[in-house]
Chains A and B, each alone.
Chain A
Amino acid sequence: MNPLQTLRVALRALWRNKMRSFLTTLGIIIGVGAVIAMMAIGAGAKSQVEAAFAAMGTNLLIILPGSTSQGGVSGGFGSMPTLTWDDLTAIQTEVPTVKRAAPAMRSNQSIIGEELNWTTSITGTTPEYFEVRSWPVALGAPFTQADVDGGTKVVVLGQTVVDKVFGPNSNPVGQNVRIRNIPFQIIGVAAKKGQSATGQDYDDAAFIPVTTFGQKIQGGLSKYITGQVFVEATSADTTSRALSDISMLLRDRHHIAAGADDDFSIRNLSEIAGAQQQGTDTMTTLLASVAAVSLLVGGIGIMNIMLVSVTERTREIGVRMALGAKPRNILLQFLIEALMLSIAGGLIGVALGVGTATWLAARFKWPMLIQPNVIIVSVAFSAFVGVVFGLYPARKASQLDPIDALRFE
């Protein structure tokens, strides 16, 4: 008797007891379904966090100027400009772990088109900014160093601003808008970047050369950078090195004595990203272990029912033995029955899990990511559970004595 025939015998035995077979698999179905759904939602959350931080820029450091202190009241970081343009040049040229650096000075201004207008955050910066933030310009081109040097009146708009001032799907490159009543030519539209990790719309922004910003918006370019400096480190590994290098450089340049407080602050965004990712990882692991326990319980459920089934079918086993079934035929039949149950349960569980995840994602607008390897692993694991928990009942069945089995009432 070959394994294929045993398989058919086992399948027939399961089919004869459809309801019981289904109930037996229920534990596995729920277990696998839970694993798939939880992992899909966990992976979705993780990828959302990752995407949010990738949108922010990679290997990113942000330098904030110092705080004012008047009458014992500290103004907070950025309230007093302490970073100079020379500091920026020094950071760009003297720190080997720094790849690029760009200033960012911001002001909320109305952008007035022909018919519509929109108030947004205008950033005065340099061409490096688009590189540092890994933010390409989708239509047209970013402004150049020549624009910065000449203080030309050109603007790169964010997608949200384009939508609000010119309507969706329009290409405003070449047209003019007025900012503070000064006409600016639109030379580019920045690629859509989406939301930040905190839900802020990145695309609600406009960018002009930093010199133009100083002269036309701020009313005169001073020695200090009245805003932040974005720094891109050479790689993810050198980000913290770059932080301490810049810190040392600035302390030196600002003549801060040892032990005294910094008059600036540097934030490492990759660290924040790492912490957030760790958070979602912990969550995913937690969910997965809960689901794994339910899979285990499902396996024990299969063992229980298989044991009951062996007892209930003792006579059948006796008859099969009397008709010539060898112990290994019986062993294999029950093992295959358990295996079929758990694999079928696994597959139904996958369908259920994918369905649940899709439904949850649609219902609560959660991100969802179904990973093929999770599906493979959970089906494989349920098959494993079937073998492990099917083996004991199957052995028990195969070791029955034919006459005892036949006499069993």
Chain B
Amino acid sequence: MPQPALIELQDIRKIYTSGEVEVRALDGISLTIESGEFVAIMGPSGSGKSTLMNTLGCLDRPTSGKYILAGRQVSGMDKNELAEVRNQVLGFVFQNFNLLSRTSALENVELPLVYAGVSGKERKRRATEALERVGLGKRLDHTPSQLSGGQQQRVAIARALVSNPKVILADEPTGNLDSRTSIEVMALFQELGRAGITVVLVTHEPDIAEYASRVIVVKDGKILEDARREPVRAVVPPLPATP
């Protein structure tokens, strides 16, 4: 008996109407993503890749179509149920990190657990664990302004990880990072993939997409190309010798 797919989209449409004009951001997308896949979604701006991402992230509700996430029909859920799904099944990583300012790394990572109703002690333990996993075990009390961009993104990844999600959704996670830190972050995602977590990322940089095991190209709200291939292994280059 085949295992049901982790993510299943059936003929998803998202249509915005502003006045007379009708914009089909998503125009009949059907897609399945299996557990443990590392998917990169690519496409030019305005192609609908962000809308697809938001739909996958239960942040946006499709106009029509069926979305099944981890065995639950998400399309048709109300705001509260969607919040619960986001909290328990999904983890988010954003381009601009979106950490709470003037708040320690530990507290930032604890945030999803606060909304999950986890007790304070347990929260702290799990948040510390998640930060150690991304290599920031010594930066627990640092606030975002005291951390570099790469470190901030790793805090954000720890925050996405802390609730043991099935899927991590990353929207241009390397968009604000230099190439070296980008590779660091991609290496982290590949590691998560090996640990069985599904990673879906949106990027417009082909070299970032190379680290994924599957690349989906979206254009005009439709899937243009969907290819599985052997990913490039993210190896962080050694630091250049400082003169």
Report which A residues bind B (CB closer than 8 A). 1-2, 5, 9, 12, 16, 315-316, 318-329, 402-403, 406
Contacts and interface: CB of A to CB of B under 8 A. Distances in A.
Nearest to A398: B79
B86 interface: yes
Contacts of B107: 12
Contacts of A315: 98
Contacts of B83: 321, 324-327
Interface stretch (B52-60, B131-139, B173-181): B52-60
B16 interface: no
Q: Which of B60, B80, B86, B103 has the most CB atoms of chain A within a 10 A radius of its CB?
A: B86
B57 A320 contact: no
Interface string B68-103: 000000000001100110111000101000101111
Nearest to A326: B83
Contacts of A402: 59-60
Main secondary structure of the interface of A (DSSP, over half): helix
> Top 8 nearest A-B pairs by Cβ distance?
A324-B87, A324-B115, A326-B83, A323-B112, A16-B102, A402-B59, A319-B98, A403-B59
Nearest to B112: A323
Given A1-B116, A324-B86, 5 more contacts: A9-B114, A324-B163, A325-B115, A329-B115, A403-B60
B111 A12 contact: no
B60 A323 contact: no
B117 interface: yes
Nearest to B86: A324
A9 B80 CA distance: 19
Given A402-B59, A403-B54, A403-B59, A323 B100 contact: no
A312 to B, nearest CB: 11
B57 A322 contact: yes
Contacts of A322: 57, 59, 86, 92, 98
Nearest to A328: B80
Nearest to A329: B115
A326 B80 contact: yes
B159 interface: yes
B215 to A, nearest CB: 24
Contacts of A403: 54, 59-60
A323 B118 CA distance: 14
Contacts of B59: 321-322, 402-403, 406
Given A1-B114, A406-B94, A323 B159 contact: yes
